[in-house]
Each structure stands twice: as structure tokens, then as C-alpha cells.
């Protein structure tokens, strides 16, 4: 039809799992636009700026119907145009981007710019995350008009490596029946302000293909090809080919024997000739840390082809015993919190699992291996799950433990194991900081805001019982936003959505009395503009009445009441100094002086981020206990282990548990805090995965 220049991407990211000659390609979306009415409008979507216009039509070009897109920019260097089109997918069964390839033809037909820079994005909807699109962009394309048609062909797995992330996120849902692609372009560098320009480009022959295995062959094998750390009692299984009557399975440790063997030359690896079951359980246990190869031939003597020789797959067995990999828990009858227990059984500050299904952690960043991990919330301040009436419990210990018990004592000396390993992931250290006075109290913080249904800020606090008052002078703050908020707060709990009252002095929006009446509701405010720091602020509780005052001098007769509100808070609350930068990319610093509280406020200052994913550094430890009650505590060498926010392997030689009968282990506990020297501590999040006993 026409000459094409071809652009392909091949970064080799996806080649390791290639199915070679067994690859089978199917189109999951294909559109050449030939069924469209010439002159009808295509889908259009404007990028970024209202000073641009975009017209999309189906047009007859050299005897074929194509998409014709014309972008016109009237002013400005930053103006862009583009369009979005939904793609209805059929048969996109793989969740691996490496299995998909997108092709299309594109042409820079005419306009002011030659070459012109074009952006193309491949997106999917992902209802598990929320509304919007998620995905990656192709590398920027320079399209020359003299190139005429350019054929683009990209493997989607390679786009992950290119990493031009879509602004809403990159969480592709490859099996979603609705995808979309977006094509458009910015003006070429050098466009002057107020200079108008027009560009026309064409699109044709959109095709998305999926590489899978031919239906005649054994496929969807378990374990997957090139898997590692497979248990030694593994059972092999596969989906039979569509013509298979029986199966020949070849299995061994020599790849050449497995590949070349046949019924007439079995080479000692034809282990299961002609079974009708599509699974194989090797006798006994496989060897440790050994690579095995296997092949399934599909057989049907009644079919003209008779036999379909399968490809050779491999897996490598583990060199460890699994204590818990968290893969077997479900949300029906084997919930994770029934095996690993916390505060409800041991009165520590640990909560195991989520309150709603899925109870185990399933999101990839928080899973080290496989599909699930254990989520734990530790809270070492004496009350767990504050603000949640169904799960809150006061009077808990100032340390947290998740524990698992075994009715039958476990022998942790078998198979020559010599160390205990677990993987854990915490949260990054807190953004905020606090230095207590006198004479100066200093806070630093980030955070989106203290507003709406949930907050992000830094809080330095004490405990207040019943009625009371807090007073402070806001001396200064850095202007990270006109609505940065340093001030004083009374808060029912440390949850992000807690009921609270506060009075703050902002850099440029005045003094504001803000409150959330009930848990998770919206916020209200009473603001007096024009008031700047330094400024005194005060909160008073009398029953369920909370009053906010401010003063320029702090003198007894100088106070102005900004507002009062009725909130049915619990008798015991948190009171202290609060700060949010109202800008997640900037750190705000605020200084206070003359901080005073009523006698109903007790305890030492505590401080932490609220509503921001972070942990204050706390020590971690493991406890093993035997059937006779003997136990040993082993501490992690880093006293701030909870702030390790990437998956970290903790390997403990079993000799460190001297004093425990390792042939009769009945309990394992994972702890946060110091059970030997209990002091009120912080709350935070932890993820645990892949607890193993390692062999030499």
C-alpha cells in the first residue's frame, strides 16, 4: 500500500521467558478503521491547555480509511493537543506485559514542524485502584514528513524498562477488557509565545497481539518455567492440549536427555508414559537446590498428528524448609489472624492483618515473594487501634508481638538446618522532627493538609484527661504554602481521620480555628484573615465544649475568641503542637515559645507523623519458645529496624537461640519494642514474608 519506516524496541528484558518455536501469537485487538464512515468524528481529548484545539476525523487517504488528527495551537510554548481512544480487548488472558506487543502506523502529514515530536501512551483501566488510567508511554518519536508512514512496534514489557510513567500511575491491569491509547504532541522546541501553529498527522492499522502457547500443546505449567525455590515435594501439573488423550512426561536433571528422549529412546527420563492425568507427583522428595527439567508430550493416536512434542521447562528446588510463606491463608476459613495472633490474645500492641478482606497483604510492593505477606500494625503507647470502636483496646503493653504456636512441637534441627530467616519491610523514617523547649519548641513537617476526611501532619503531643488547656506562642514558620498550619491541637486519637480541634497561624491566610466533628467526616473552619506570626493561640476544653482564642501579646485581657464548638470526644485525648507544610514536596519549620498546659496534661512529649506512611525507629526481635517453656529473645542489630522501607533479609544463626530445645519449638513471636524495659513508644506498620529454616 505504502512504504514504511519501522521503529522497534528490543531491550531484551522479556527474552528470558521466550517460548521460542512454541510461541503462538493471537490478536487481542485489531483495527484498520476500514468500517468507519468517512468524515465522521473520532474520539478527541485535549491535553493540558485550553488554548489548543483538536479535530479528529476518519478520512480517505490513498484509498484507505485512516484517522486524521489536526492540532492547532493559538498561543504559548506549553500548549499541546492529543486524543484518547478506548480499546475493547478480547482474549487478553496474560497479566505479563512481556506477552503483549502493540503495532501501529503513523505519519506526520503536514504542518509547521518537521520533524514533530509525538507522544504515545498505552493505558489500562484498573478498578482495584480507582478511576483513571494507568500505564507507560513509548519513547518520544521524532516524525519527519519525508519519512511518510512510520511503522511502530513495541513490546509492552520493554515500556516498563523505558519507564515513561503515566501521571496517574503505572499499575497496568493487563487482563482488563478495556484499554486505551493516547496520541498527541507538544510543539517543537523553539515555539515563541503567541506564535500559532498547526500540525496534521495520520494513524492507521492499530494491532495488539498476545504471545501464548499453541492450544494443541501442554501449557499453563506449574511450576512456571525457570522457577526457583520450589519445595522438594512439588507436584507437577499442566493444562492439556485440546487434542490430548494421554500424556508422556519426561523428567530429569539433564536437559539434553529430557529434550531428546522419546518413547523408543526413553533415556531413563520417561517417568510417566501415557497417563490420562495431567499431573505428576515425583516419588519421595526431590534433592535440595537441584535444577530439574521436564517435558510433556501430548498424545492421541486417533488424530492424524498423533503427538505434539512439548517444550522443555525447568525449575530449581529450594535449599530451605518453609516455616511460613503466607501463601495458604484466605479470607474464608484460614484467616491469617487466626494463626498469627496479637493484642486480642497476648495484650501486646500488635494487630495482625487488616480489618477487612483481604486480611493478608496482597499488594506487590508489600509482598516479597509469591502473592501474599503478613501485615502487622504495632502500637506501643498502651492503646491499640485508636478511633476504631470495633477494635480499639486500652491497657495494652508497651511492646508489640505477633505470635504463632504449634500444638505439635517442631523439630528445627532436621535436614541440617542452621539458620532462621525472615524478610521484613517497614516504613521510611518520619519526615517530621521535634525539639522540646524551653525556651523554643521546634517542629518540622511535611504533609498535604490537616483538612477533609483525613490528615497528613506532624504532631508533638501529651495525654490530657478530661478538661484542660494548651497555650503557645507561634513565633515563626517557613512559607511552604499560604495554608501551612502551625498551631495547637486537641485530638481524640492518633488516627488520620480522628475528630479534633486546632487553632493555627498561617503564613498568608490568617489565624484559623479548624475542626473535624466526627471520625472521618469533613472539616469546618472559622478564619480571621490578616493575622500573622508571632501570635499567641489557645485551646480550652470544658466538657464537650472546645474554645479557640488568639492574642498578639498573651496578656490576660488581650485574647479574642475565634470560635467554640461542641464535640462529644472521649475523656482522654491527645494535646500538643501540630504542623503541616500543606506541600508534600517541601518541609516546613515552625518555632513555638511559651508552651504551657493545664495540670490535666501529663506524660512526656511524644511526636510522630500522622496520616503519612512513616515509622519512628523501633527495635525488632524474635522470640522462640520450646515445649518446656524455655525461651530466648534475639534482637535485630539495627535499633531502628522498623524504618527499613525496602525488603530486608534477617538471617539468624540457630546458635543464637541457645537455651531453647530446637527439637521441640512450640512458639515463635515477632516483636517490636523492648519487652525487658517497657516504655511508651510509637505506632507503625510492618510487613513480614518468607520465614524459612536454611540449610548449609
Superfamily name and number for 219-318: Immunoglobulins (2.60.40.10)
Residue intervals in the chain for CATH 2.60.120.430: 319-429+615-696
682's grid cell: 510509637
Residue intervals in the chain for CATH 2.60.120.260: 4-212
Q: With bands split at pLDDT 50, 70 and 90, how would you rate the model's confidence at 443?
A: very high
Whether 427 shows a pLDDT value over 90: the answer reads yes
Return the beta strands (E) in 193-329 as ranges: 197-212, 219-222, 227-230, 236-239, 246-252, 270-272, 279-280, 291-299, 307-308, 313-317, 320-324
Percentage of the chain lying above the pLDDT 70 cut: 91
CB 457 within 8 A of CB 610: yes
Region 17-46: mean pLDDT is 74
Region 443-458: mean pLDDT is 95
Selected from 3.40.50.2300, 2.60.120.260, 1.20.1440.230, 1.20.1260.10, the CATH number assigned to the domain covering 4-212 reads: 2.60.120.260
| pLDDT digit string, tens, across residues 463-475 | 999 999 999 999 9
Q: How far is CA 223 from CA 27, 229, 387, 534, 611, in A?
A: 27, 10, 45, 67, 41
pLDDT score at 524: 95
Bridge partners, residue 101, by sequence? 155, 209
Q: Can you tell me the distance from the alpha carbon of 475 to that of 440, in angstroms, rounded to the nearest whole number?
A: 9
pTM confidence score? 0.65
Region 653-667: mean pLDDT is 98
Q: With bands split at pLDDT 50, 70 and 90, how would you rate the model's confidence at 68?
A: confident
Q: What are phi and psi of 147, to 5 degrees?
A: -75, -15
DSSP-derived secondary structure for 666-685: EEEEEEES-TTS-----EEE
Question: CA nearest 442: which of 457, 455, 464, 460?
Answer: 460
605's grid cell: 512529649
Whether 497 shows a pLDDT value over 60: the answer reads yes
Q: Can you tell me the distance from the alpha carbon of 693 to that of 690, in angstroms, rounded to the nearest whole number?
A: 10
Q: Which residues have a Cβ under 8 Å from the Cβ of 259 and sit 6 or more positions away?
A: 293, 295, 312
377's grid cell: 500494625
Residue intervals in the chain for CATH 2.60.120.200: 433-610
Q: How far is CA 351 from CA 291, 304, 428, 615, 644, in A?
A: 40, 62, 20, 16, 20
Residue intervals in the chain for CATH 2.60.40.10: 219-318
CB 616 within 8 A of CB 494: no
What is the residue-averaged pLDDT of the chain?
A: 89
Superfamily name and number for 319-429+615-696: Galactose-binding lectin (2.60.120.430)
Q: With bands split at pLDDT 50, 70 and 90, how would you rate the model's confidence at 14?
A: low
Residue 202: CA atoms inside 13 Å, Cβ hemisphere, count?
A: 23
Whether 18 shows a pLDDT value over 50: the answer reads no
Return the SS3 of 562: strand
CB 399 within 8 A of CB 620: no
pLDDT score at 5: 53
Angle 586-592-593 (CA atoms, 0-180°, nearest 5)? 165
Question: 634: burial class by Cβ within 10 Å (0-12, 13-18, 19+)?
Answer: middle
- Fold assignment, 433-610: Jelly Rolls (2.60.120)
Whether 10 shows a pLDDT value over 50: the answer reads no
Percentage of the chain lying above the pLDDT 90 cut: 70
The count of other CB atoms within 10 Å of the CB of residue 490 is: 27
106's grid cell: 503513523
Using left for φ > 0, alpha for ψ between -120 and 50, and beta otherwise, residue 220 falls in: left
CB 122 within 8 A of CB 89: no
Amino acid at each position: 500500500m505504502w512504504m514504511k519506516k519501522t521503529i522497534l524496541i528490543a531491550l531484551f528484558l522479556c527474552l528470558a521467558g521466550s517460548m521460542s518455536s512454541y510461541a503462538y501469537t493471537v490478536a487481542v485487538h485489531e483495527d484498520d478503521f476500514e468500517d468507519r464512515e468517512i468524515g465522521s468524528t473520532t474520539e478527541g481529548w485535549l491535553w493540558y491547555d485550553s488554548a489548543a484545539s483538536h479535530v479528529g476525523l476518519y478520512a480517505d487517504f490513498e484509498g484507505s480509511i485512516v484517522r486524521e488528527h489536526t492540532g492547532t495551537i493559538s498561543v504559548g510554548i506549553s500548549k499541546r493537543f492529543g486524543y484518547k481512544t478506548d480499546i475493547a480487548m478480547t482474549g487478553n488472558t496474560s497479566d505479563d506485559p512481556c506477552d503483549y506487543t502493540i503495532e501501529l502506523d503513523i505519519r506526520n502529514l503536514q504542518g509547521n514542524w518537521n520533524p514533530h515530536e509525538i507522544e504515545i501512551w498505552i493505558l489500562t483501566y484498573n478498578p482495584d485502584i480507582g478511576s483513571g488510567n494507568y500505564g507507560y508511554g513509548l519513547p518520544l518519536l521524532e516524525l519527519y514528513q519525508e519519512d511518510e508512514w512510520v511503522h511502530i512496534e513495541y513490546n509492552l514489557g520493554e515500556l516498563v524498562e523505558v519507564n515513561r510513567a503515566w501521571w496517574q500511575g503505572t499499575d497496568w491491569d493487563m487482563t482488563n477488557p478495556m484499554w486505551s491509547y493516547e496520541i498527541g504532541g507538544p510543539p517543537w522546541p523553539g515555539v515563541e509565545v503567541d506564535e500559532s501553529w498547526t500540525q496534521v498527522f495520520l494513524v492507521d492499522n492499530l494491532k495488539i497481539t498476545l504471545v501464548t502457547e499453541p492450544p494443541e500443546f501442554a501449557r499453563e505449567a506449574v511450576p512456571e518455567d525457570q522457577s526457583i525455590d520450589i519445595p522438594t515435594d512439588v507436584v507437577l501439573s499442566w493444562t492439556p492440549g485440546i487434542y490430548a488423550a494421554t500424556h508422556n512426561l519426561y523428567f530429569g536433571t539433564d536437559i539434553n536427555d529430557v529434550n531428546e528422549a522419546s518413547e523408543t529412546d526413553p533415556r531413563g527420563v520417561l517417568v510417566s508414559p501415557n497417563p490420562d492425568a495431567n499431573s505428576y507427583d515425583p516419588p519421595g522428595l526431590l534433592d535440595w537446590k537441584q535444577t530439574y527439567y521436564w517435558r510433556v508430550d501430548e498424545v492421541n493416536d486417533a488424530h492424524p498428528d498423533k503427538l505434539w512434542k512439548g517444550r522443555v521447562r525447568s525449575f530449581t528446588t529450594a535449599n530451605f524448609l518453609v516455616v511460613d510463606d503466607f501463601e495458604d491463608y484466605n479470607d474464608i476459613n484460614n484467616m491469617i489472624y487466626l494463626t498469627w495472633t496479637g493484642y486480642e490474645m497476648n495484650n501486646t500492641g500488635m494487630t495482625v492483618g487488616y480489618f477487612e478482606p483481604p486480611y493478608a497483604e496482597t499488594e506487590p510492593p508489600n509482598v516479597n515473594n509469591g502473592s501474599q505477606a503478613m501485615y502487622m500494625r504495632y502500637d506501643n503507647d498502651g492503646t491499640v487501634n485508636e478511633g476504631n470502636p470495633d477494635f480499639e483496646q486500652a491497657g495494652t503493653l508497651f511492646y508489640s508481638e505477633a505470635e504463632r504456636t504449634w500444638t505439635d512441637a517442631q523439630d528445627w534441627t532436621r535436614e541440617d538446618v542452621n539458620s532462621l530467616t525472615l524478610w521484613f519491610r517497614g516504613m521510611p523514617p518520619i519526615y517530621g522532627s521535634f525539639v522540646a523547649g524551653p525556651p523554643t519548641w521546634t517542629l518540622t513537617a511535611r504533609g498535604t493538609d490537616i483538612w477533609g476526611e483525613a490528615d497528613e501532619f506532624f504532631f508533638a503531643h501529651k495525654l490530657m484527661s478530661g478538661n484542660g488547656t494548651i497555650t503557645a506562642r507561634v513565633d515563626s514558620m517557613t512559607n511552604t504554602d499560604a495554608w501551612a498550619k502551625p498551631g495547637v491541637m486537641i485530638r481524640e486519637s492518633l488516627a488520620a481521620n480522628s475528630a479534633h480541634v486546632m487553632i493555627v497561624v498561617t503564613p498568608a491566610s490568617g489565624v484559623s480555628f479548624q475542626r473535624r466533628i466526627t471520625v472521618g467526616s469533613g472539616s469546618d473552619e472559622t478564619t480571621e484573615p490578616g493575622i500573622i506570626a508571632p501570635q499567641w493561640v489557645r485551646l480550652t476544653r470544658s466538657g464537650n465544649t472546645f474554645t479557640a482564642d488568639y492574642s498578639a501579646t498573651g496578656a490576660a485581657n488581650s485574647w479574642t475568641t475565634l470560635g467554640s464548638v461542641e464535640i462529644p470526644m472521649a475523656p482522654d485525648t491527645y494535646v500538643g503542637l501540630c504542623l503541616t507544610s500543606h506541600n508534600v514536596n517541601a518541609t516546613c519549620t515552625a518555632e513555638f515559645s511559651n508552651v504551657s498546659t493545664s495540670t490535666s496534661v501529663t506524660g512526656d512529649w511524644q511526636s510522630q507523623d500522622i496520616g503519612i506512611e512513616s515509622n519512628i525507629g523501633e527495635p525488632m526481635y524474635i522470640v522462640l519458645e520450646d515445649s518446656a517453656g524455655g525461651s530466648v529473645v534475639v534482637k535485630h542489630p539495627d535499633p531502628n529496624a522498623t524504618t527499613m522501607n525496602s525488603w530486608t533479609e534477617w538471617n539468624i544463626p540457630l546458635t543464637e537461640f541457645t537455651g531453647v530445645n530446637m527439637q521441640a519449638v512450640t512458639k515463635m513471636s515477632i516483636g517490636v519494642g523492648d519487652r525487658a524495659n517497657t516504655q511508651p513508644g510509637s505506632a507503625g506498620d510492618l510487613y513480614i514474608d518468607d520465614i524459612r529454616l536454611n540449610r548449609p
